[in-house]
C-alpha cells in the first residue's frame, strides 16, 4: 500500500460557549479547524484533526511510502525538520501527518486505534475542564454539574489572577462535582501566568483550604528549575509540558523531576511523539494526562499508555462537521468499534462552514497576558462575568 495524496480542509467554527484562561480572561468562542486526509492507492484514507496547514512542505517525505510504517516515517520528518526546528506550523503539520498515518494504520488493520496501540479496552477516565475563566459562577456550576451527571468526579479550574475569587470558584467546582464523587479530585491551571515563587505563595494559601491533585503550568514551560522548586514546595503535583513539542523539549522536566504529570496531546509531534514522551515519562516514574481535543480523538492513544491518569474533557461544541464514535459514561470516555480514531467528516456542514464562515468573539491562539511571570494584573472591570475581589474585602 502506498501513500498517494492528501487533502487539507481548513475552516472556522463558532463553539457553543466561550473558553478562556488567565491569559485571556474574557475568552473566545471562535476556533480554527483543520481536517487532514491522507489518501492511498487502495482507497483507504487516514484522518486527523489539528491546526497544521503546512502539510504540502512535509508531504514529499512520505509520498509513495507504506503508511503502516508510522514510526519510520515519523523519523524521516523529524530528521527533515532537524535544522529548521520542530516548532510552530512545521510542528503542527508534522503532528497532523503522523496522527493521520496512525488512523490509516488502524483502518488497514480494521481495528480502533486504541486496540492497534495495544490497549486492553477503549475506555479512559475523564476529568472535566471548563476553560472557564470567562464563565460566570452560575455557568461554572452548570458546566461541572453537567459533567458530574455523566459520572465525572474530577475537575480542573482556570486560576491565576484573583486568589480569593479563584478559591471561591474551586469551591463551586467541588460542590458541582460532589454528586459524582464523595471526594472530587480538584485540579487548577495557571497557564504560566505565575512565577515559581508566586505559585509557591498562592498554592500555600489554596492548600490551606483545598486538597489539590495537581497545579498545571504554575511557572513558565521552560523553567524546569522553577517548576522543580514548586514541586518541592507544595503538596499538589506539578503538571506541565502542554506547550512543549517534543521529547527533547520535555526531557529537562524529566531529568530534573520538575513535574509529576505531563500534559500531552497530538501536538507533541503526533501520536508517535506523544507516545514516546509518555513512555519516556514512564521510565522516569512520571505520569501523563491527555489534553482535550475535538471529538476526544486522543482518548485512543491515552487508552494504550501504561502511565495515563485521566483525560481532559472540555466539550465546548467543536464537532460541527465531524462524526465520532465515543461518549462519556460513568466518568469515562468510552470508545466504540469504528476503526482508527473513529472520526468521519460531514461534508455538507464542512462546505457550509467554508462558504460562509461564522462570526463571533475572540480568536485563537491565546496571547500571553501582561504581567505574566512578573506581577498580577487582576481582571479589569467588565473583563470577567464573575465577582472579582475588591480592595475593601
Partner 1 sequence: MNEGPEALDLRVETVTIVPVEGNAEICRLLLGTNVGIVGMSLCDKATGLIAAKLGNSAIAGKDPRAAPALYHALHAADAAPPAIAALDIALWDAKSKTEGVPLWRTLGGSRGPWNVMRGDAKGQAIHVQLEGNLDQDLERIAAAQSAIARKIVEPVIALTFPANWNHPDDAAKVIAHAQAIERHFDIAFIELSLPLDSTGAHLAIGKVIRAALCNGRGFGRISDFRPALECRALDGYLLDVDALGLTGAMVVANAAAAYDLPVLLAPSMGNLALHLCGAMPNFAFAMWDGRLTASGTGRADQSQSVPGLDATLGDDPGIGLEGFS
Which positions lie near Mg ion, rule CB under 5 A? 189, 216, 242
How near is the Cβ of 235 to partner 1 at its closest, in Å? 22
How near is the Cβ of 48 to partner 1 at its closest, in Å? 14
Distance separating alpha carbons of residues 91 and 104, to the nearest angstrom: 20
φ/ψ region of 160 (left if φ > 0, alpha if ψ in -120 to 50, else beta) reads: left
- Of the pair 168, 346, the CB lying nearest partner 1 is at 346
How near is the Cβ of 322 to Mg ion at its closest, in Å? 23
Question: Taking CB within 5 to 8 Å according to partner kind, which of partner 1, Mg ion, none is near residue 251?
Answer: partner 1
* CA-wise closest residue to 305 among 78, 39, 117, 32: 117
CB 187 within 8 A of CB 215: yes
User: What is the end-to-end Cα distance of the chain in Å, rounded?
Assistant: 68
- Of the pair 117, 154, the CB lying nearest Mg ion is at 154
User: Residue 318 contacts by C-beta under 8 Å, 6 or more apart in sequence?
Assistant: 13, 15, 31, 33, 294, 295
Which residues lie near partner 1 (CB under 8 A)? 66, 68-72, 74-75, 78, 105, 107, 109-112, 115-120, 247-248, 250-251, 254-255, 257, 272, 275-277, 279-285, 304, 306, 323, 325, 337-340, 342-344
* CA-wise closest residue to 213 among 258, 256, 183, 192: 183
- Of the pair 75, 209, the CB lying nearest partner 1 is at 75
Question: Taking CB within 5 to 8 Å according to partner kind, which of partner 1, Mg ion, none is near residue 323?
Answer: partner 1
- Of the pair 23, 40, the CB lying nearest partner 1 is at 40
Question: Taking CB within 5 to 8 Å according to partner kind, which of partner 1, Mg ion, none is near residue 261?
Answer: none
* CA-wise closest residue to 168 among 231, 176, 153: 176
How near is the Cβ of 154 to partner 1 at its closest, in Å? 22
Distance separating alpha carbons of residues 212 and 174, to the nearest angstrom: 11
Amino acid at each position: 500500500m502506498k501513500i498517494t495524496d492528501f487533502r487539507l480542509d481548513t475552516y472556522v467554527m463558532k463553539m457553543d460557549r466561550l473558553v478562556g484562561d488567565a491569559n485571556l480572561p474574557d475568552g473566545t468562542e471562535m476556533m480554527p479547524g483543520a481536517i487532514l486526509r491522507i489518501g492511498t492507492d487502495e482507497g483507504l484514507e487516514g484522518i486527523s484533526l489539528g491546526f497544521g496547514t503546512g502539510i504540502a512542505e512535509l508531504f514529499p517525505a512520505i509520498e509513495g511510502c507504506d503508511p503502516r510504517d508510522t514510526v519510520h516515517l515519523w523519523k524521516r520528518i523529524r530528521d527533515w525538520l532537524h535544522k529548521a526546528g520542530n516548532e510552530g506550523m512545521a510542528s503542527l503539520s508534522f503532528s497532523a501527518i503522523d496522527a493521520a498515518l496512525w488512523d490509516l494504520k488502524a483502518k488497514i488493520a480494521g481495528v480502533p486505534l486504541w486496540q492497534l496501540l495495544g490497549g486492553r479496552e477503549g475506555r479512559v477516565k475523564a476529568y472535566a475542564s471548563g476553560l472557564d475563566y470567562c464563565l460566570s459562577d452560575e455557568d461554572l456550576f452548570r458546566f461541572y454539574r453537567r459533567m458530574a451527571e455523566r459520572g465525572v468526579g474530577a475537575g480542573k479550574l482556570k486560576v491565576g489572577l484573583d486568589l480569593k475569587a479563584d478559591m471561591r470558584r474551586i469551591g463551586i467546582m467541588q460542590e458541582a462535582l460532589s454528586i459524582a464523587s464523595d471526594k472530587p479530585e480538584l485540579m487548577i491551571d495557571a497557564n504560566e501566568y505565575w512565577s515559581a515563587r508566586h505559585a509557591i505563595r498562592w498554592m500555600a494559601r489554596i492548600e490551606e483550604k483545598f486538597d489539590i491533585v495537581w497545579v498545571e503550568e504554575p511557572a513558565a514551560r521552560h523553567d524546569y528549575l522553577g517548576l522543580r522548586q514548586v514541586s518541592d514546595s507544595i503538596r499538589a503535583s506539578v503538571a506541565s509540558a502542554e506547550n512543549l513539542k517534543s521529547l527533547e523539549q520535555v526531557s529537562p522536566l524529566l531529568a530534573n523531576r520538575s513535574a509529576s504529570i505531563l500534559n500531552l496531546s497530538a501536538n507533541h509531534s503526533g501520536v508517535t511523539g506523544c507516545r514516546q514522551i509518555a513512555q519516556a515519562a514512564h521510565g522516569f516514574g512520571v505520569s501523563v494526562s491527555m489534553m482535550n481535543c475535538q471529538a476526544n480523538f486522543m482518548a485512543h492513544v491515552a487508552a494504550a499508555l501504561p502511565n495515563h491518569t485521566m483525560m481532559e474533557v472540555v466539550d465546548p461544541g467543536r464537532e460541527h462537521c465531524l462524526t465520532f464514535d465515543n461518549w462519556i459514561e460513568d466518568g469515562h470516555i468510552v470508545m466504540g468499534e469504528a476503526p482508527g480514531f473513529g472520526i468521519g467528516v460531514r461534508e455538507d456542514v464542512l462546505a457550509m462552514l467554508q462558504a460562509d464562515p461564522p462570526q463571533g468573539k475572540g480568536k485563537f491562539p491565546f496571547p500571553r497576558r501582561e504581567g505574566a511571570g512578573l506581577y498580577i494584573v487582576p481582571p479589569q472591570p467588565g473583563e470577567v462575568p464573575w465577582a472579582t475581589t475588591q480592595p475593601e474585602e
